[in-house]
A and B are shown apart, each in its own frame.
Chain A
Amino acid sequence: MAREIATEMKGMDGPLLPILHAFVQRFGHITSDAIILIADVLNLTRADVQGVVSFYHDFRTTPAGRYVVKLCRAEACQSMGSEELASNLEQALGIKFGETTSDGRVTLEAVYCLGNCALSPAVLVNNQLRGRADETKILDMVASGLVGAGQP
């Protein structure tokens, strides 16, 4: 399956990032086996692929929680209290940014701008965008099961 994805996409111009995105979408994260496989298909060194994986925030190497909460921590959201919201969320979920709750439900991540800067604070939960976000709205989103999973 993994090899098929990589082989099918190898003819693209600049195939590595699209393949890595496809792997994250399909398998949830990039394993060390995947790095070896992709390097083999694209005729790159393992270091080449590893270097790209480690450079970009999106290419996670460990599984994420069922809900990935990406809270914007950039300036526009800061002006509307996102830093206080950030620490409240850490407290409510019992994790720091970059971590996943022990039950595997929620991963909390910082993101720098979601392009919703006139309706700050902004948050993206499994690709569902919310404006004027607060702790209650976000915790409801990860509790309700109303938000579907999936990456772009």
Chain B
Amino acid sequence: MTVRIFVPSDAAALSMGADDVAHAVQCEIADRKLDATLIRNGSRGMMWMEPLLEVETPSGRVGYGPVQAADVKAIFEAGLGNAHSLNVGLVEEIPFFKNQQRLTFARCGITDPLSFDDYEAHDGLKGMRKALNMTPDAIVAEVTESGLRGRGGAGFPTGIKWRTVLKTDAPQKYIVCNADEGDSGTFTDRMIMEGDPFALIEGMVIAGLAVGATKGFIYIRSEYPHAWAQMNNAIELARTKGVLGLSILGSGRVFDIETRLGAGAYICGEETSLLESLEGKRGQIRPKPPLPAIKGLFGKPTVVNNLISLASVPIILDKGGAFYKDFGMGRSRGTIPLQLAGNIKRGGVVERAFGLTLRELIEDFGGGTHSGRPIRAVQVGGPLGAYWPDHLLDTPLDYETFTEKGGMLGHGGAIIFDDSVDLAKQARFAFEFCAIESCGKCTPCRIGSTRGAETIDKVIAGDNVVENLDLVRDLCETLRDGSLCALGGLIPTPVMSAMEHFPEDFDQESQGSGVK
């Protein structure tokens, strides 16, 4: 029987030398005339082990990691699956992986991302086949029942958004996938595009069937060249297979997808700005209303969903809304693929039901800092999320609980900082980032961000610290209440949380020096 060997083509794995490993594996297979085949899978999301080489054995897939090309010969010498210093045992028994609840990421890292046979062998297309035999109302009802909320950060119920588009009459409607994953500390959108792109395609087709849209766009950021290439390949294959096109799986129903490349603007992750960009304009915010669900892309009713939301739809249709809803806590239903990032020993993706605490995520899964020093601050939710100290780490990961405590779960990324971090610098960076990425449409964000950075500079320089901190607070209030969108509206969150929880970094004189 042909032995299957896996080396990921995920960008994170490539960034650590996966292509060289794959080449070395090919050479060994050829030299030894082995009956073996190399598959370029996605990543399992255990990034500290990338490149993770896997070999299929009768007892399961055995992993080696992190592997460099120079290690490959010895792995083959020892006999595939046998003892070797890099052998990590059965991959699915590794606690980081085993203790997850993978629904959206069920196939990622396991299958060949560009094989429809593999996709279908792992439950792919089941949700879509069901949807093809359902009424639009029934599809929307199933998604509503699941409790799925927008995974991009806002957490708006997906079913309600879909219903609005379904009920709005128009000759043309659109499904737009927001794959402009610009928040630092997040990478699950990228991983799905590279590791299970058909799941996104299937989710978008189902969304189209649900609301009566025949065309979809995926807006992919240009910082993701690998995901861009993989997604385009996957769409081509889907057309060949009849999963996209004029008659989806011979049903007579129409749906097709085009990709569009972003151009390096963070703000285009905001849905109205993204729509402007898709239309070929400056990525400036549109005031709401009108909602995109009523007047969206090219003025037509449009579902704008985050990639993870759409990629979660197939399993909801396949197993039912009630199955999905069974996971989670409070009003946060289902699972969320969380991301461990920054100064972390075991970084990567952890998909779990809502309700896991931040500490469990960071310590049990992540194993503490990469540097081995104590954790001082954690930022969850990207550049607009709060900086939290240790005593808030027992907060369960859930939209409402995070909001109550002044934080934001966002896209589920957690960035870990050790005790070398200076929170005054981080607060300054928040303003600086906002100044760089502001679309310029509203004044608080455009001007306030620059003034904020200048004022924090004064604080750092020890110039009228108390007065200037008051000024920063005042400015934050203006930004929060007066900005048109979440960038200006939420940039006060990292700034104010840093000031609240780490005052010693802002007022070194009165707090005694030598903190840093």
Whether, in the assembled complex, A112 has its beta carbon less than 8 Å from a beta carbon of chain B, the answer is yes
Cα separation A137 to B265 with both chains bound (whole Å): 27
Residues B260 and A52 in contact, CB atoms below 8 Å apart:
no
Cα separation A17 to B426 with both chains bound (whole Å): 33
Chain B 326-356, CB-CB to A under 8 Å as 1, else 0, gives 0000000000000111111001100000000
Cα separation A34 to B424 with both chains bound (whole Å): 44
Chain B 182-222, CB-CB to A under 8 Å as 1, else 0, gives 11111101100000000000000000000000000100001
Residues A79 and B263 in contact, CB atoms below 8 Å apart:
no
Which residues of B sit under 8 angstroms from A127, Cβ to Cβ? Answer: 225
Which residues of B sit under 8 angstroms from A59, Cβ to Cβ? Answer: 263
Given contact pairs A55-B265, A131-B15, A152-B261, A115 touches B347 in the complex (Cβ within 8 A): no
Residues A115 and B429 in contact, CB atoms below 8 Å apart:
no
Q: Which of A101-141 contact B (CB under 8 A)?
A: 111-120, 122, 124, 127, 129-132
Min CB–CB distance A81 → chain B (angstroms)? 9
Min CB–CB distance B22 → chain A (angstroms)? 15
Cα separation A129 to B19 with both chains bound (whole Å): 12
Residues B225 and A56 in contact, CB atoms below 8 Å apart:
no
Residues B181 and A56 in contact, CB atoms below 8 Å apart:
no
The closest CB in chain A to the CB of B50 belongs to A119
Residues B258 and A78 in contact, CB atoms below 8 Å apart:
no
Whether, in the assembled complex, A74 has its beta carbon less than 8 Å from a beta carbon of chain B, the answer is yes
Whether, in the assembled complex, B8 has its beta carbon less than 8 Å from a beta carbon of chain A, the answer is no
Residues A122 and B186 in contact, CB atoms below 8 Å apart:
no
Which residues of B sit under 8 angstroms from A152, Cβ to Cβ? Answer: 222, 225, 228-229, 261
Residues B187 and A116 in contact, CB atoms below 8 Å apart:
yes
The closest CB in chain B to the CB of A111 belongs to B223
Which residues of A sit under 8 angstroms from B6, Cβ to Cβ? Answer: none
Whether, in the assembled complex, B16 has its beta carbon less than 8 Å from a beta carbon of chain A, the answer is yes
Residues B341 and A120 in contact, CB atoms below 8 Å apart:
yes
Indicate which residue in A14, A58, A77, A116 contacts B15 across the interface (CB closer than 8 Å): A116
Q: Among the interface residues B15, B183, B222, which one has the most CB atoms of the partner chain A within 10 A? A: B15
Residues B370 and A80 in contact, CB atoms below 8 Å apart:
yes
Residues B184 and A118 in contact, CB atoms below 8 Å apart:
no
Residues B226 and A129 in contact, CB atoms below 8 Å apart:
yes
Which residues of A sit under 8 angstroms from B417, Cβ to Cβ? Answer: 79
Which residues of B sit under 8 angstroms from A13, Cβ to Cβ? Answer: 217, 258, 278, 298
Residues B12 and A119 in contact, CB atoms below 8 Å apart:
yes
Given contact pairs A75-B379, A129-B14, A118 touches B339 in the complex (Cβ within 8 A): yes
Residues B279 and A14 in contact, CB atoms below 8 Å apart:
yes
Min CB–CB distance B485 → chain A (angstroms)? 16
Cα separation A111 to B184 with both chains bound (whole Å): 11
Indicate which residue in A18, A75, A124 contacts B429 across the interface (CB closer than 8 Å): A75
Residues A57 and B263 in contact, CB atoms below 8 Å apart:
yes
Which residues of B sit under 8 angstroms from A114, Cβ to Cβ? Answer: 223-224
Which residues of A sit under 8 angstroms from B187, Cβ to Cβ? Answer: 115-118
Given contact pairs A112-B184, A115-B224, A119-B15, A17 touches B265 in the complex (Cβ within 8 A): no
Since A75-B415, A75-B429 are in contact, a sample of 5 more A-B pairs with Cβ atoms closer than 8 Å, ordered by chain A residue number, is A18-B260, A75-B379, A79-B342, A118-B339, A120-B343
20 contacts between A and B (CB under 8 A): A12-B258, A13-B217, A14-B278, A14-B280, A16-B281, A18-B261, A55-B284, A58-B264, A76-B415, A112-B266, A112-B383, A112-B433, A113-B184, A115-B181, A116-B12, A117-B341, A118-B48, A119-B15, A130-B15, A131-B47
